[in-house]
Amino acid sequence: MSDLASVRVIVYGRVQGVFFRAFASREAKELGLTGYVRNLPGGAVEAQAEGERKQLEKLIDYLKAGPPAAKVERVKTDWSEYTGRYSGFVIKY
């Protein structure tokens, strides 16, 4: 049985206006994950992703690095049970 999980990731730093959501969405899709990414008021970016735990851990590593123009200062993760509520990975505006 695969190890399915859900994780909410909040990324702090210079992460808005640097194509962070497009970067996160592309990486999540390549890893076969579902969920969404969106900007939060105050300048952070939130990603909610579901799938295999090892793929989620890879996504977190990508988010800690960010796209070239980003400057990630801090990443907060909150793991929870897999829900299966997402059909794909989308950018919320």
Domains and CATH numbers, the chain: 4-83 (3.30.70.100)
Catalytic residue among 8, 21, 26, 85: 21
Residue 26 annotated to the active site: no
pLDDT at position 33: 98
pLDDT at position 15: 98
Cα separation of 13 and 6, whole Å? 23
* Residue pLDDT, tens place only, 56-76: 999 999 999 999 999 999 999
Cα separation of 87 and 29, whole Å? 11
pLDDT at position 12: 98
Query: Could you tell me which residues come within 8 angstroms of residue 40 by beta carbon, excluding any fewer than 6 positions away?
Result: 10, 46
- The pTM of the full predicted model, rounded to 2 decimals, is 0.96
Residue 38 annotated to the active site: no
Catalytic residue among 14, 26, 38, 39: 39
Residue (of 73, 88, 69) closest to 20 by Cα position? 69
CB neighbours (10 Å) of residue 59? 22
